[in-house]
Amino acid sequence: MAIFFLQVVFHAQIAKENKDFDITGVIEKLNKKLVRRRPHVFGKYKAKNVKDIEVMWEKLKMKAISELNENCIQH
């Protein structure tokens, strides 16, 4: 796992030097993604069982795919 984080920090440093982005932006995006994908942990959604979480997860994936497709069409 450490080698993975080293790669993230390494690439973020290169991007920072190129004035593309920095590690703060990476962490913020990852945090938002983590919270968005786990409303049963961080949000108001109350799952009764694992099946509820799986159903919610499928809905979240479909929404994300739809938004991605919309963004691709607009650009």
Q: Domain segments of the chain: what residues?
A: 1-37, 46-75
Read off the pLDDT of each residue in 50-75 and give the average, rounded to a whole number: 86
Q: Of 72, 71, 69, 45, which is closest to residue 57 (Cα–Cα)?
A: 45
This prediction has a pTM of 0.67
Of 43, 44, 45, residue with least CA distance to 34: 43
Radius of gyration for the alpha carbons in the chain, expressed in angstroms and rounded: 16
Q: How confident is the model at residue 68 (pLDDT cuts 50, 70, 90)?
A: confident
